[in-house]
């Protein structure tokens, strides 16, 4: 199957290492194609950033379905554009939040998220509330590192272990979700660090979780409900497109 | 004071009658200036429409603050871009949902919304859940009329009375919020229709409610919290701007 | 318009300074007339005090409506008698809790209250629960000062800053509501103290908030719902009135 | 033990039959003494009525404790004055709502209340919400009979069966609480009517339930928590007392 | 009346002292007969233990009803088998959790449980959630002592006081429920210890609470609802019984 | 990988057709081995049945892990023994409820379950409440067919379509979960029936959903949290085993 991986930012941070890590758990015949944005923010760290990422994200989803992709991953933990895109396409569309959280609920009664910056906390609290999961996702902490600094893996791992310990000890979390899809390649070390500290709880990496959920949806033939995600009414819409104004 | 009224669509539906009605309750020295979008949807009836309205909405908010507006009303019941705009500006920003709902809570233990189309129901359910108000907003119904057909006032009034009666009788609502800021000039007739039917409950028109809440915030010197709405981190952002790519 | 300000206690604490501060944000043609109780507690600091304040509060509401007042403010954060009074009159009636809380919800996802004594905490928790706002009002702290000692402004300001900091840091509050309408003239200093401590969150003074909400209701012609607040059935009621027993 | 039964109205409706029925389940050495109010409403059917019943109810509680009563039953389903009285006395104080509801939770996952008039519905919804029991008490219906008309037992029984059936079939209730302590002597017939209609659910009579809970508290030496019900601060309070003004 | 007390373990820990203490509050004509299991765990400290206790517990309930017992107490705070047994018998069946919690709700707005080991915390959290009481039972702590070590009363009392203090101070509990029916004979000392520490909150011993609730149900003729607890459909069931396989 | 499929009943209903259907979506190298119980109920339709299925279910889980199975599916929608088994083994263990519900949450804001008999409704309501999902799983209906009659596929399909329509129209469900793992081979027809009726919502078959979730857990190396599922303390446990009494 073919999955479109939309990295919803204009920074070209998708290296071969990241690609290999993120797709390492997928089936042999699952092909993941990555696209980044031409217009939008360098990274997503607030609702403002999301707002400028979403339009092109949706266009890539629509294009992707036409190009024959079986499903789309919007590679960001804030699920930017997920609901709007589902209105427009029939193939499965997921961001990073929903899959990681759903899988984590099968592991533990209470789950903690450790994300990047305080700026995204209200956004994620909003997602948790909208998903009706306030009694299950009981911890929301952050490492105080911007998205584009996450390449400093040692610093990231230490901070994740530190905050995860608090999530376990102070907030009752029994599983930790890494709350940014840019936290790549660190899950194993965080899990080990927690186990070494006497807190052997599972740690879920969101992009891997999302891709395997998407793969499952395609294998099972599952689609999102058209009762929740109705197709948008036809109407005139005006947009910039390259140099020209486009109507769609 | 000066309030910027952003009608977040590309249709020029803002007539003098609508303007007079919407602003009729404001103080003499409150000046409302209306702007519509150059890029975006003709109307907002789903999350897809919202996604394409929000970027220019935010830009108008930012521009508006620079131009000296004391506050901004994003004239749509779905509150599109409200949270992102609050991150960027310090003046009060409100859409139509939050003010009408907050005021209605002072009138009745349980409140009903009557909106336009089934397409917006999940979006509004999401807002209700995010606002933690599931136990207060107990009814969400729709008249099955698209936004741009709302000018048919008689049809609209009849449909609103019909659905409001159900909200009162079946869902326990004690007050009705008109769930689209395009439902202009009908509140009085709906209220009367309900009273005539033995259901004398208050009806709240969302745009009037929003403007008076905004006016109040300005008079009181109230601002949104920077703990909930932190300023976005500086970074490169690429956007279309007329013919050119703009970085901001 | 004419607003009746019922200070629901028998202590004559309503000074000119307090009057000026409390009404300073109102429109020029809004006239606020203050009445205190002849029978009731010297201050309200528990449900017992409330019980002995409410009967005369309601009588003053009923009288006030007959005298032509356009609305009534029951000047206490516990909203004593508000619901009962609404059953009896058609003009808007508000206490201090509901307006301050509703406005604060527009500022912040999570709100904190700082009140006077631990005695009132269960009472306010009850109000929060009854209003279905447990997920929004996440902090409830107190300064350990009786109502009639609040004139010691420096002590009050210091204590409010101290407890507000905890509300922000430990309970996630993004806005602070002063949880006693006797906390007059300190909002500005508390806000400044918090900003100086790196926690620039809005602080809402409850009496000012209530009066402006009431003014808004009158301007907008809004009334409480008769579905929530039905008129009491006619029946014999016996009460003391001066020296005589009165039936009403 | 000695229990004070306060019938919190000025109507002398407490007949020997009612007394016998209400106390029939108590232990031989449990003596119930009934007092009615000299000042207050003829019956309680709204928050306004409650407000005028509560002051003398509390005074009777305080007096009752001094006279050596081991506990107090405030004989009304709205629990008027219960919380305020608990602040003032150390002996157990219960109204009709709390005991009947607590016992009913042991019988069924979901419980329905059938009360007298629509006027009391918001009051009872408030009690349910304040008690955090919205997910357990899922049905709230009424027979549309005023309190003082409840002596028409056949009419009452028919109406209770009718509304209880709806509670079971439409609202999922598995047990029915009679939502007025004036619904005396009908529980057995209602239970039988429901069983005959193929809905054999338990029916709880509130006054009997309250008295046996109170008796249990006294036997067990249980008291209400002073952390929830703190003693009122000392202060001047002015009240009418017979012909004179009293300070207490 | 005759109550069957099932101690749902295979350890014969039921001494005369424990029997005397547990039944000391019951009526003179209430006879409590104790049975332990022949098959099952030595103590219950996790869901695994529960699973192996439940089958024989239910059989003893069914047998007990046939033998003429008026009600059954399943003497364990985890309520093992309570719901299944209620499906099979008509007499009242209670474990330790439900009665203690229901009674405690009448004492305090917020309640804390102090139990034995961390292993039972998720089990009890599940019971709280299933009972819809998350907003009332706000504290769940443990003394880190296995059930069969609880005979060390001094150690137990000290640990219970220690954890109860935290429940009061940190979690807002106004009443403490001893979260294991094996915590016998210590309630008085814990209550005194808390009072001495300036935290005079009621402490509820679960087995005493359960037995008096059961006694009340029998006196009142109350039974569990057959709408919640429907009789199991007839079918073949195979089980070990002594040396033989039994069908039932 | 090797998955143990425990059909937790003593009826040998596992035909080749059912096996083929249930495992048809799995990976080529996933081997599913089915075991039924020697002791327990013929089918599970109430908590009583569950109680007698669970002990051997857990033993088969423990044995299965020792025999090298990578994961266990307890093939029943009530998740019997899942939590207890997780305490004892480290390999993933799932029943039918949790996987189907978690996947369905990704499809629709609100989900409906259609199960077999009214008897299991309280049990499933308990699972929903325990999982904190009351606001997401908004519909719970049944076809009134016992488990062992589900082979009548035409009757089953018609009843499922009928009840699913009500779930969509009356309860707002946007996706339907088949609430019994014995509802095999009908999902496609139900989905088609709903689409033909103008309600094109996804239908999730629980056993297929569970097996693919389990497969995913094994592929990803995910395990349940040892903070939620702690290993049981060592102690003496007595059980029947064939003809002999066994200690473990």
- State the total domains in chain B: 2
Across chain B, what does the average pLDDT equal?
96
CA F200 to chain D, closest CA, distance in angstroms equals 27
Dump pLDDT digits (tens) for E139-187: 999 999 999 899 999 999 999 999 999 999 999 999 999 999 999 999 9
Q: What is the pLDDT of residue C241?
A: 72
Query: Is pLDDT above 90 for D243?
Result: no
Pairwise CA distance, residues B40 & F246, whole Å? 74
With cut-offs at 50, 70 and 90, classify the pLDDT of residue A13. Answer: very high
CA E122 to chain A, closest CA, distance in angstroms equals 8
3 state SS for D125-182: HHHHHHCCCCCCEEEEEECCCCHHHCCCHHHHHHHHHHHHHHHHHHHCCCEEEECCCC
Tokens representing residue C157 in the block:
């300001």
- Classify each residue of A115-124 as buried b or exposed e, where b means 16 or more C-beta atoms within 10 Å of its C-beta: bbbebbbbbb
pLDDT tens string, chain C, 248 residues long: the values are 999 999 999 999 999 999 999 999 999 999 999 999 999 999 999 999 999 999 999 999 999 999 999 999 999 999 999 999 999 999 999 999 999 999 999 999 999 999 999 999 999 999 999 999 999 999 999 999 999 899 999 999 999 999 999 999 999 999 999 999 999 999 999 999 999 999 999 999 999 999 999 999 999 999 999 999 999 999 999 998 755 566 66
Higher pLDDT, E74 or A241: E74
Q: What is the pLDDT of residue A77?
A: 98
Does E touch D (3+ CB pairs < 8 Å)?
yes
Selected for mutation to probe chain A from F227, F229, F231 (highest A CB count within 10 Å) is: F227
D-chain CB neighbours of B135 within 8 Å are 129, 134
Consecutive H or E run containing B21: helix B16-23
Across chain A, what does the average pLDDT equal?
96
Which chains share 3+ C-beta pairs under 8 angstroms with C? A, B, D, E
Shared-domain flag, residues A110 and A197? yes
Contact A126 C109 (CB under 8 A): yes
CA C238 to chain D, closest CA, distance in angstroms equals 5
Dump pLDDT digits (tens) for D104-125: 999 999 999 999 999 999 999 9
Shared-domain flag, residues B117 and B79? no
Shared-domain flag, residues D221 and D129? no
Give the nearest partner residue to C133 out of B132, B173, B209, using CB atoms. B132
Rg (CA), chain B: 18
Selected for mutation to probe chain C from D48, D93, D130 (highest C CB count within 10 Å) is: D48
The upper half-sphere exposure of residue C179, i.e. CA atoms within 13 Å in the direction of its Cβ, equals 35
Query: Is pLDDT above 90 for B111?
Result: yes
Dump pLDDT digits (tens) for D172-190: 999 999 999 999 999 999 9
CATH assignment of the domain containing B160: 3.40.50.12500
Query: Is pLDDT above 70 for D43?
Result: yes
With cut-offs at 50, 70 and 90, classify the pLDDT of residue A243. Answer: low
Pairwise CA distance, residues A124 & A137, whole Å? 10
Which is nearest to F136 in space by CA: F160, F103, F164, F159? F103
Q: Are F48 and E89 in contact (CB under 8 A)?
A: no
With cut-offs at 50, 70 and 90, classify the pLDDT of residue A244. Answer: low
D-chain CB neighbours of E202 within 8 Å are 222-225
Q: Are F115 and F180 in contact (CB under 8 A)?
A: yes
With cut-offs at 50, 70 and 90, classify the pLDDT of residue A248. Answer: confident
Dump pLDDT digits (tens) for A221-231: 999 999 999 99
Angle formed at CA D162 by CA D148 and CA F139, multiple of 5 degrees: 125
Give the nearest partner residue to A225 out of F25, F107, F134, using CB atoms. F107
- Beta strand E175-178 with E137-142 is unpaired
B-chain CB neighbours of A81 within 8 Å are 51
Shared-domain flag, residues B163 and B88? no
A-chain CB neighbours of B39 within 8 Å are 238-240, 245
Does E touch B (3+ CB pairs < 8 Å)?
no
- Beta strand E71-74 with E93-94 is parallel
B-chain CB neighbours of F135 within 8 Å are 129, 134
Dump pLDDT digits (tens) for B126-154: 999 999 999 999 999 999 999 989 999 99
- Classify each residue of D26-39 as buried b or exposed e, where b means 16 or more C-beta atoms within 10 Å of its C-beta: beeebebebbbbeb
Contact E135 C129 (CB under 8 A): yes
| Owner of token pair 């429409």 | B49
Pairwise CA distance, residues A75 & A72, whole Å? 9
> Residues near F125 by Cβ (< 8 Å), separated by ≥ 6?
D109, F140
Selected for mutation to probe chain C from E105, E107, E108, E109 (highest C CB count within 10 Å) is: E109
B-chain CB neighbours of D134 within 8 Å are 135
Q: What is the pLDDT of residue D244?
A: 54
CA E242 to chain D, closest CA, distance in angstroms equals 34
Low-confidence ranges of chain F (pLDDT < 50): none
Pairwise CA distance, residues C86 & C64, whole Å? 13
CA F129 to chain D, closest CA, distance in angstroms equals 9
Shared-domain flag, residues E154 and E225? no
**Predicted model pTM:** 0.97
Overall residue count recorded for chain E in this entry: 248
Helices and strands in chain F: count of H runs, count of E runs: 8, 11
Which chains share 3+ C-beta pairs under 8 angstroms with D? B, C, E, F
Interchain CB contacts (distance < 8 Å): C and E = 5
Quick one: what percent of chain A has pLDDT higher than 70? 98
Instruction: List for chain A the helix, strand, coil content (%; round to 5).
Output: 40, 20, 40
Q: Using an 8 Å CB-CB cutoff, list residues of chain D that contact chain E.
A: 25, 27, 94, 98-99, 102-103, 105-110, 131-136, 168, 173-175, 199-202, 204, 208-209, 212-213, 216-217, 219-220, 222-228
Pairwise CA distance, residues A21 & A75, whole Å? 14
Dump pLDDT digits (tens) for A88-109: 999 999 999 999 999 999 999 9
Query: Could you tell me the residue range of the domain that residue C82 belongs to?
Result: 2-96+208-247
Rg (CA), chain F: 18
With cut-offs at 50, 70 and 90, classify the pLDDT of residue D240. Answer: confident
A-chain CB neighbours of B248 within 8 Å are none
D-chain CB neighbours of F122 within 8 Å are 109
CA A13 to chain C, closest CA, distance in angstroms equals 33
Angle formed at CA A62 by CA A58 and CA A66, multiple of 5 degrees: 160
Q: What are phi and psi of D239, to 5 degrees?
A: -145, 160
Q: What are phi and psi of C94, to 5 degrees?
A: -135, 150
| Owner of token pair 């609103």 | B160
C-chain CB neighbours of A125 within 8 Å are 109
Shared-domain flag, residues D20 and D107? no
Interchain CB contacts (distance < 8 Å): A and C = 5
Pick the residue from chain A with its C-alpha nearest to E140. A172
Pairwise CA distance, residues B172 & D171, whole Å? 14
Query: Is pLDDT above 70 for E244?
Result: no
Interchain CB contacts (distance < 8 Å): A and E = 5
Shared-domain flag, residues E192 and E213? no
Shared-domain flag, residues F212 and F186? no
By CB atoms closer than 10 A (0-12, 13-18, 19+), residue D4 is: buried
| Owner of token pair 């880190």 | E144
Tokens representing residue F172 in the block:
């707002």
Q: What is the pLDDT of residue C247?
A: 67
Cβ neighbours around F1 below 10 Å, total:
15
Shared-domain flag, residues B203 and B236? no
Q: Are C177 and C147 in contact (CB under 8 A)?
A: no
E-chain CB neighbours of F146 within 8 Å are 233
Q: What are phi and psi of A98, to 5 degrees?
A: -60, -50
Q: Which segments of E56-164 are extended strands (E)?
A: 71-74, 93-94, 111-115, 137-142
User: Quick one: average pLDDT of A7-28?
Assistant: 96
Q: Are C207 and C181 in contact (CB under 8 A)?
A: yes
> Residues near C111 by Cβ (< 8 Å), separated by ≥ 6?
C101, C104, C105, C136, C137, C138, C139, C173, C174, C175, C176, C177
With cut-offs at 50, 70 and 90, classify the pLDDT of residue B245. Answer: low
- Estimate the crossing angle of helix F187-196 against helix F153-171, to 10 degrees: 50
Shared-domain flag, residues E185 and E104? yes
With cut-offs at 50, 70 and 90, classify the pLDDT of residue B73. Answer: very high
F43 — alpha (psi -120 to 50), left (phi > 0) or beta?
beta
Pick the residue from chain F with its C-alpha nearest to B118. F172
Q: What is the pLDDT of residue F164?
A: 98
Selected for mutation to probe chain F from A30, A82, A96, A106 (highest F CB count within 10 Å) is: A106
Shared-domain flag, residues D203 and D135? yes
Span between the terminal Cα atoms of chain D, in Å? 29
Instruction: List for chain C the helix, strand, coil content (%; round to 5).
Output: 40, 20, 40
Strand partners, F201: none
Q: What is the pLDDT of residue F81?
A: 98
User: Quick one: average pLDDT of D133-138?
Assistant: 98
Selected for mutation to probe chain E from D221, D222, D229, D231 (highest E CB count within 10 Å) is: D222
- Beta strand E244-247 with E237-241 is antiparallel
Shared-domain flag, residues F212 and F199? no
Cα dihedral sign, F37-F43-F44-F47: negative
A-chain CB neighbours of C135 within 8 Å are 129, 134
Pick the residue from chain B with its C-alpha nearest to D122. B109
Contact C135 A129 (CB under 8 A): yes
Pairwise CA distance, residues A144 & A156, whole Å? 10
| Owner of token pair 């809570």 | B105
Contact E106 D102 (CB under 8 A): yes
Q: What is the pLDDT of residue A242?
A: 58
């Amino acid at each position: 199957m073919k999955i479109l991986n939309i990295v919803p930012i204009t920074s070209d941070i998708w290296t071969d290492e990241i690609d290999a890590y993120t797709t390492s758990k997928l089936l042999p015949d699952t092909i993941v194609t990555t696209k980044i944005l031409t217009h939008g923010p360098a990274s997503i760290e607030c609702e403002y950033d999301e707002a400028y990422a979403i339009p092109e994200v949706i266009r890539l989803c629509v294009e992707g379905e036409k190009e024959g992709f079986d499903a789309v991953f919007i590679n960001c933990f804030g699920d930017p554009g997920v609901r709007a895109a589902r209105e427009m396409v029939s193939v499965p569309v997921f961001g990073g939040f929903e899959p990681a959280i759903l899988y984590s609920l099968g592991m533990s009664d209470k789950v903690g998220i450790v994300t990047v910056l305080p700026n995204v906390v209200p956004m994620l609290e909003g997602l948790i509330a909208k998903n009706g999961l306030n009694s299950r996702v009981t911890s929301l902490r952050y490492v105080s590192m911007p998205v584009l600094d996450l390449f400093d893996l040692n610093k990231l791992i230490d901070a994740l272990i530190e905050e995860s310990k608090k999530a376990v000890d102070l907030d009752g979390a029994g599983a930790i979700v890494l709350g940014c899809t840019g936290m790549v390649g660190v899950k194993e070390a965080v899990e080990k660090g927690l186990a070494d500290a006497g807190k052997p709880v599972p740690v879920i990496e969101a992009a891997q979780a999302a891709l395997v959920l998407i793969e499952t949806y395609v294998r099972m033939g599952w689609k999102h409900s058209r009762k929740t995600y109705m197709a948008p009414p036809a109407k005139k819409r005006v947009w910039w497109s390259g140099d020209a104004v486009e109507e769609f």
